[in-house]
Amino acid sequence: MITVYGIKNCDTVKKATKWLDSQNITYSFFDFKKQSLTTELLNEFVSKSSWDVLLNKRSTTFRNLPDDIKDNLTDEVIFQAVLSQPTLLKRPLLDHQKGFHVGFKEPLYQELFLS
């Protein structure tokens, strides 16, 4: 089973889902705006990647965080911030039998699904 995590209005998520659709690849979509990010799911993401990869420091959401959070980015602080504001995660997150990937790069998707 392939799951894409993100938000519908994210341009990169749109590119990823459009590519998957164009290749007739079936996937489920988890929309952070409509579905709650649980502690268990976030723990799963962190176990498959790292905060350096997962945390979107260029996002408006990150820039709008209070300085005391941005200046104290421990694992626990980041975890709680992302739980309350999932748009702090880079998007899309792609989870499938061949691994866990962050972002969308067409050559990677081609390698994963067409080779």
**H helical segments located in 5-38:** 11-22
CA 61 remoteness from chain centre: 14
Determine the number of helices (DSSP H) and then strands (DSSP E) in the chain. Answer: 7, 4
34 is catalytic: no
- CA torsion angle 18 13 106 78 (round to 10): -160
Is-contact 69 106, C-beta < 8 A?
A: no
Which residue among 10, 13, 20, 102 is the active-site one?
A: 10
Catalytic (active-site) positions: 10
